[in-house]
Amino acid sequence: MFDYKRRNGQYIGSNPPFGYVKDAKDRHHLVIDPDAAEIVRLIFSLLLKGTSKRGISFYLNEHGIPSPSVYKLEKGMTVSNKPDGNTLWSGRMIHTILTNPMYTGDLVQGRFRVKSYKVHQIETVPEEEWVRVADTHEAIIDKATFEKVQELLLRDTRTSPQGRTVHLFSGFLKCADCGRAVTRCSGKNNVYYACATYKSRSRNACTMHSISHARLEAAVLYAIRQQVHLAVSYSEVIAQINSAPIKKKPVFPTGRYDSCKRT
């Protein structure tokens, strides 16, 4: 019965994702909760601007924005787990929201399950086993934005213990020799990037090579400008080709000519 309802695009959960409520006319359909949806959009926006998940939680807590459980209690909604003194946002809460495909308007159910009737532990279900029905409710986050966020989350974008903003090249740099990540280092007067394998794992696994942040930034900027220049040049060439007059090839009548005969 549950599986049939899932595949039929009916929401069967007890508590909708933060940002949605059950439709008063149909409890198997989700509608947007405007106030909560604005918080969800803010979270996605902050990550796209370079704020880490930890930094987002700090921002929300410092601005007095209620966490999902507190928000639902304030609105008189049902919550699965009442807050036991810990009412603040955390990086884990932020991650849960950022990775929930339900915000794109697709009904995605069966992502988690109880391990067994004896062991009441929740385990993650492989994505290929999820029950997904497209466009069953109004989206809070468009699909392109959601996919962009998923790409950013896959990168190694950790911040320092006191940091809240992801650095410019965080998660993008790889060592050209060993292929592993490049780490960001701070000297007395400069910032540079060095091979993490050589620096932290083994001096025999790679070689010591580094580049300053200023030099790397200049090189990347130059490469971007070159790509833009090429793109503009190609556009101009294509425009000239498209605007050029069409020249028709001469059509010769069929037949034999005496002047072309061999002598």
pLDDT tens, residue by residue, 168-191 = 666 677 787 787 777 777 777 778
The residue assigned the tokens 């370079």 is 50
Per-residue pLDDT, averaged over 189-214, amounts to 73
Residue 205 has pLDDT above 50, yes or no: yes
Token readout for 31 is 């509608």
- Mean residue pLDDT of the chain comes to 80
Hey, CA dihedral for 140, 142, 147, 148, is it positive or negative? negative
pLDDT number for residue 125: 82
Mean pLDDT of the 202-214 span = 73
Is residue 163 predicted with pLDDT exceeding 60? no
Are 125 and 159 in contact, with CB atoms under 8 Å apart? no
Mean pLDDT of all residues in 13-17: 88
pLDDT at residue 9 tops 60: yes
Look at residue 25 and tell me whether its pLDDT is greater than 90.
yes
pLDDT at 83: 56
Helix, strand, coil fractions of the chain, as percent rounded to 5:
40, 15, 45
pLDDT at residue number 144: 96
* pLDDT confidence of residue 263: 47
Q: pLDDT tens, 55-99?
A: 899 899 989 999 999 999 898 887 766 655 567 898 889 999 999
Kindly state the percentage of the chain with pLDDT values over 70. 78
Give the residue among 96, 33, 95, 43 at the shortest CA–CA distance from 65. Answer: 43
* Mean pLDDT value across residues 111-139: 81
Q: In this predicted model, what pLDDT tens digit does every residue of 224-258 receive, in sequence order? A: 888 887 777 777 777 777 777 766 666 656 555 45
Mean pLDDT, range 183-211, rounded to an integer: 73
pLDDT band at 200 (very low <50, low <70, confident <90, very high): low
Q: Distance (Å, rounded) from C-alpha 202 to C-alpha 177?
A: 14
